[in-house]
Amino acid sequence: MSHFTTKDIPDLSGRTAIVTGGSSGIGKATAAALARAGAHVVIAARDTEKAARAVGEMPGSAEARALDLADLGSVRRFAEAWEGPIDLLINNAGVAADTLRHTADGFETQFGTNHLGHFALTGLLLPHVTGRVVTVASQAERMARADFLDDPNFASRPYNGSVAYNNSKLANLLFVAELARRLEESGSPVRAMAAHPGLVATAIYDRPGPRRFSIWSALVPLLAQQPDEGALPTLYAAVADLPTNTFTGPRHLMHMRGGATVIKRSPTAADPELARRLWDLSTHLTQPALTL
């Protein structure tokens, strides 16, 4: 069992890391830890003013760039403007929604942002990636419904925000599994990893009155850890000597808080056929320039 802390992050001088959603919460803590270790960190965020403020508060070398994962046009512009190698691509950003909303391209917001936006971004940037792709998932995937691929946008079924969120986190893990398989099959040294931050006190819970957050809103003040602690599983997946397709999470309280270790995923999240189906669907919906 790992006793990983930020002191275990090696010297990252000369390395470049992209952290989506790095302007607040877990993403900001992740970006700050990587910058402190010497990496040049690019905070990719929708709100560039907020990202610029986060950069100003960070040690070391960092910059802010515009990226709206709910808009594939923005994803493509970010990727087209990129030059140089990427040692770490941290797919951290995520949203939660109670009501049915849609991205600029017409996808259900949580599936479209949490999965499809990162799927397209990874595909477009992959030719530049030399080290690892770490995608922030969640143990919420255990409550997902395996049939979500038949109607990911809730076009023919009643919308449930919790179900949509859980499904998007299952999609994150299936994506990581299939990406890892394809990278290995192609002989690429790049590793695809997944991380579960646990229960963390972030702005995702700061929402007045939503039914889906009522239980969590009560638990957060009692049990939640701070973003610096919630970032540890992501950092562990990013720098520790772990095999590709590893899933990391907190060590304690049913992997909800404290440190970082390797954790298990549900049988559904390890289903290779479901992972291939999701990959094919995601490619059809986003048409990123995938090289695998």
| pLDDT reported for residue 259 | 83
The answer to the question of residue 3 being in a domain is: no
- The average confidence (pLDDT) of the chain is 91
Burial 178-198 (b: 16+ CB within 10 A, else e): bbbbbbbeeebebbbbbbbbb
CB atoms within 10 A of CB 56: 9
pLDDT (tens digit per residue) in 234-247: 999 999 999 999 99
Number of domains the chain is built from: 1
Give the domain extent around 199. 12-283
pLDDT tens, position by position, 50-61: 999 999 999 999
DSSP for 160-195, please give it. -HHHHHHHHHHHHHHHHHHHHHHHHHHT---EEEEE
Are the CB atoms for 273 and 264 separated by under 8 Å? Answer: no
> What is the residue type of 162?
S
Q: Compute φ and ψ for 242, nearest 5 degrees.
A: -125, 150
The answer to whether residue 152 is domain-embedded is yes
pLDDT band with cut points at 50, 70 and 90 for residue 287:
confident
pLDDT at 250 over 60: yes
Q: Does residue 182 belong to any structural domain of this protein?
A: yes
Catalytic annotation present for 165: yes
Q: How confident is the model at residue 225 (pLDDT cuts 50, 70, 90)?
A: confident
pLDDT tens digits, one per residue of 163-187: 999 999 999 999 999 999 999 999 9
User: Is residue 145 assigned to a domain?
Assistant: yes
Residue 227 has pLDDT above 50, yes or no: yes
**Does residue 288 sit within a domain?**
no
Q: Helix, strand, or coil here: 10?
A: coil
Within a domain: 188: yes
Instruction: Give, for 129, the enclosing helix (H) or strand (E).
Output: strand 129-136
Report H helices in 37-89: 48-56, 72-80
Looking at residue 205, its pLDDT comes to: 44
Q: What 3-state DSSP class applies to 92?
A: coil
Per-residue pLDDT tens over the stretch 117-152: 999 999 999 999 999 999 999 999 999 988 899 999
Mean pLDDT of 18-32: 97
* CATH code for the domain in which residue 233 is found: 3.40.50.720
30 in a structural domain: yes
Angle at 286 between CA 283 and CA 288, to 5 degrees: 75
Catalytic residue among 159, 165, 205, 236: 165
Q: Lowest mean pLDDT of 9-18, 31-40, 203-212, 265-274, name the range.
A: 203-212
* pLDDT confidence band for 254 (50 / 70 / 90): low
**pLDDT(77) > 90:** yes
Measure the CA–CA gap between 24 and 43, rounded to whole angstroms.
10
Closest to 234 in 3D by CA, of 249, 256, 254, 252: 249
The reply to whether 7 falls in a domain is no
